[in-house]
């Protein structure tokens, strides 16, 4: 697992918008490209916007994969991975300067293992994104004023693991166990194609003889892939009875505060 630090200049009172982008599955016909492009356009016009990629931006399903469905392959040629990298690069170019990092998902990891090329790393290089991560990572965001005063926020990111859930609370329960093992402020997960948020409280000593509660914020980063088609073609997820999903991503508002920390407000 990799860990990196980035420095973000700010003026006191500034608020930042964090967009965790996950499970786009570009290249699959069930990817809502129209909605994605609308969100990218909005992001390009949003001041103080930061983006972290949490994996499966590319569908990366080739014909030898058991999940492949010819009817749902939206890539224009036989160069499936190359096409998807190029198309995603074109879509994200308007916001490339706002992307802090790109991480892998299980779909891209399959290509690394089976095809000997790294789709996410190649996409990051094309976009000029400074940080490429694997499946899991820690990112410390240092907000720095011109005076030298700073505030920091640590993000724990993981694409996610295990099978998807058909129950509302199961994914929150699964990922909240991981929250217990890491000292971070914001936890972001993908993989399960849900948009969820939660808070895990943790008691810590403060000073010599007192304590207070700290909040660990958790986001499940949503998806741009529909579970079901509007035709008689069944998706892999449909064949396993997964529920329909809301398209889009949650966001987090980050505001460096006067007490040497960063306030985090989740919006889903």
Q: What is the pTM of this model?
A: 0.93
User: Which candidate, 16, 1, 15, places its Cα nearest to that of 51?
Assistant: 16
% the chain with pLDDT above 70 = 94
Within 10 angstroms of residue 242's Cβ, the number of other Cβ atoms is: 18
pLDDT of residue 68: 63
Q: Are 50 and 8 in contact (CB under 8 A)?
A: yes
pLDDT of residue 19: 98
User: Which candidate, 166, 211, 164, places its Cα nearest to that of 189?
Assistant: 164
Q: What is the pLDDT of residues 42-66, one digit of tens each?
A: 999 999 999 999 999 999 876 556 5
Number of domains the chain contains: 1
The span from the CA of 23 to the CA of 26, in Å, is: 9
Q: Are 218 and 179 in contact (CB under 8 A)?
A: yes
Reduced DSSP (H G I as helix, E B as strand, rest coil) percent helix, strand, coil of the chain, to 5:
25, 35, 40
Classify burial at 163, counting beta carbons within 10 Å of its beta carbon; exposed 0-12, middle 13-18, buried 19 or more: exposed
Instruction: Please name the residues in contact with 118: beta carbons below 8 A apart, sequence gap of 6 or more.
Output: 108, 111, 112
Domain of residue 102: give its range. 2-267
The CATH number of the domain where 93 resides is what? Answer: 3.60.21.10
Report the 3 state secondary structure along 102-135: ECCCHHHHHHHHHHCCCHHHHHHHHHCCCCECCC
List the single range of 56-70, 72-86, 128-142, 233-247 with lowest mean pLDDT.
56-70
User: Which candidate, 79, 24, 16, places its Cα nearest to that of 57?
Assistant: 24
Q: What is the pLDDT of residues 116-174, one digit of tens each?
A: 899 999 999 999 999 999 999 999 999 998 887 889 999 999 999 987 777 778 999 99
Average pLDDT, the chain: 92
The span from the CA of 77 to the CA of 165, in Å, is: 34
């Amino acid at each position: 697992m990799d860990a990196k630090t980035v420095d973000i200049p700010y003026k006191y009172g500034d608020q930042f918008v964090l967009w965790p982008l996950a499970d786009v599955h570009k290249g699959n016909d069930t990817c809502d490209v129209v909605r994605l492009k609308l969100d990218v356009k909005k992001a390009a016009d949003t001041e103080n916007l930061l983006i972290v990629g949490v994996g499966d931006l590319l569908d990366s399903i080739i014909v030898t994969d058991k999940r492949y469905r010819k009817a749902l392959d939206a890539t224009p040629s036989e160069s499936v991975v190359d096409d998807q990298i190029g198309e995603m690069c074109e879509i994200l170019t308007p916001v490339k300067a706002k992307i802090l990092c790109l991480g892998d998902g299980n779909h891209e990891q399959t290509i690394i293992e089976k095809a000997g090329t790294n789709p996410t790393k190649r996409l990051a290089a094309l976009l000029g994104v400074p940080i490429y991560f694997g499946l899991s990572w820690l990112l410390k965001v240092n907000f720095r004023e011109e005076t030298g005063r700073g505030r920091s926020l640590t993000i724990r990111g993981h694409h996610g693991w295990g099978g998807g859930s058909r129950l509302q609370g199961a994914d929150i329960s699964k990922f909240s166990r991981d929250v217990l093992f890491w000292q971070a402020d914001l936890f972001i997960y993908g993989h399960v194609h849900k948009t969820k948020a939660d808070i895990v409280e943790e008691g810590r000593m403060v000073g010599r003889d007192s304590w207070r509660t700290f909040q660990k914020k958790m986001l499940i980063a949503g998806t741009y892939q529909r579970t079901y088609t509007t035709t008689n073609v069944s998706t892999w997820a449909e064949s396993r009875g997964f529920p329909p999903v809301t398209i889009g991503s949650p966001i987090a508002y980050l505001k460096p505060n006067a007490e040497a920390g960063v306030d985090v407000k989740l919006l889903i």
